[in-house]
Amino acid sequence: MVSSAAEAVADIAAGASLAVGGFGLCGIPHVLIEALHATGVDDLRVVSNNCGVDVWGLGVLLKDHRISRVTGSYVGENKEFARQYLGGELEVELTPQGTLAERLRAGGSGIPAFFTPAGVGTMIADGGLPWRYGPSGDVVVSSPPKEVREFGGQEYVLEEGIVTEFALVRAAVGDRHGNLVMHESARNFNPLVAMAGRITIAEVEELVEPGSILPEQVHVPGVFVQRVVGPVGVEGKQIEKRTTRPRSEA
């Protein structure tokens, strides 16, 4: 346990690699992100499915140019993300979503690399995918070609596991030992991200005593979590895109 989010992220330094849970704005560790933003740290190398939106989540760090590189699978609703990428201000490694999930799981499991059929015959495997553009729109850094091998008559591309210095996740319930339970779709990338971080920091909405969570309910075992902040409550949660319909007549 740590006393505050600020204390939990205090040793994340410039240039650190950072895996962050969430999908869109669902299940993002926004309390820890805000605390990290307050430190002023920059040159962060982020691994996350997406980069929040323009004014929330990782988008807050991105807006202030605190992120130098993103490994993800989805640009989403973040126009600033697209602008920085196309303008040569940000390096982006786009990865198939399932591959990204497995790279995080593999890294957390001590598996250095694995073969997958996803991306075979495309720039993912052949190389040349733009990672960074220059100011004039030319590609200055592109992805390298990857090893492709045949198994059982089908080609597979070699992908490396991901391990980051830090990981930030959010859980609905957690205990002081770091055992975590996510709520429904907020589970998304959070367990995989928790596995991939050498130091994993969890913000929990409800903090309970060790033993209160049944073993079969645990989504992230405490062995993967080094710091717990909570309870943080549910205040401040945002909805990425609100869709409504007219109320029906009684």
pLDDT: is 183 or 244 the higher one? 183
250, pLDDT greater than 70: no
Q: Tell me the per-residue pLDDT of 28-40, one tens digit each, with 9 for 90 and over.
A: 999 999 999 999 9
pLDDT band at 238 (very low <50, low <70, confident <90, very high): confident
Joined tokens for residue 210: 């060790």
Q: What angle do CA 123, 128, 130 make, to 5 degrees?
A: 100
pLDDT for 241? 73
pLDDT for 61? 97
Flag the least confident range among 32-36, 75-79, 94-98, 168-172: 75-79
What average pLDDT does the segment 201-213 reach?
Answer: 97
pLDDT for 208? 97
pLDDT for 119? 97
- Quote the DSSP letter at residue 212: S
Q: What does the chain come to in residues?
A: 250
Q: Tell me the per-residue pLDDT of 63-84, one tens digit each, with 9 for 90 and over.
A: 999 999 999 998 877 899 999 9
Q: Tell me the per-residue pLDDT of 108-135, one tens digit each, with 9 for 90 and over.
A: 999 999 999 999 999 999 999 999 999 8
pLDDT band at 245 (very low <50, low <70, confident <90, very high): confident
242, pLDDT greater than 80: no
Structural domains of the chain, with CATH = 5-160 (3.40.1080.10)
**Distance between CA atoms of 199 and 18, rounded to whole angstroms?**
10
What average pLDDT does the segment 89-109 reach?
Answer: 97
> Residue 222: CB partners within 8 Å, gap ≥ 6?
175, 177, 178, 179, 180
pLDDT for 155? 98
Give me the chain's average pLDDT, please. Answer: 95
246, pLDDT greater than 90: no
Predicted model pTM: 0.94
- 50 contacts 25 by C-beta, under 8 angstroms: no
pLDDT for 2? 94
What average pLDDT does the segment 186-213 reach?
Answer: 97
CA nearest neighbour of 212 among 243, 249, 176, 169: 176
